[in-house]
Amino acid sequence: MNTVKMKDLLLGALIGAGAALAATSLATCKKSTIPPEKALKSVKEAVKHSYAVKGSWIHMKTDSIKKFDVPFTVYSGGLTCEKAGRLEQMDFVVDANTGTIVELQKQ
């Protein structure tokens, strides 16, 4: 095989490998969010020991917030809960990457 063709082939292979490596690295660095339904389920699971959840909702799109100067990608939503025979409305903010409650407060 001609040395010029071999160099071109090697150069093309190196460029292709570099592009594949860069694309893979970018894909693994970007955090993926959990589905909003899973985030809602984790909130309901976390409060079930203190409240009987009678209704719930969640925004399907994420928001960006800062809490204690730490940036979070979050879902927000609400719960209707029963405690001691009374209904209470609660708002929540949940981390969209982990499902961890960032904020939970009564209305």
- Per-residue pLDDT, 10: 56
Side-chain-side CA neighbours of 35 within 13 Å: the count stands at 3
- Per-residue pLDDT, 59: 96
- Per-residue pLDDT, 83: 85
Mean pLDDT by 10 residues, the chain (107 residues): 61 56 49 93 94 95 93 97 92 96 94
4: its two tokens: 């010029």
- Per-residue pLDDT, 84: 86
CA distances to 36, 37, 61, 80 from 55, rounded to whole Å, are 16, 14, 20, 5
- Per-residue pLDDT, 26: 46
- Per-residue pLDDT, 9: 59
36-106, what's its fold?
Nuclear Transport Factor 2; Chain: A, (3.10.450)
Q: What is the spatial distance between Cα 106 and Cα 92, in angstroms, rounded to a whole number?
A: 9
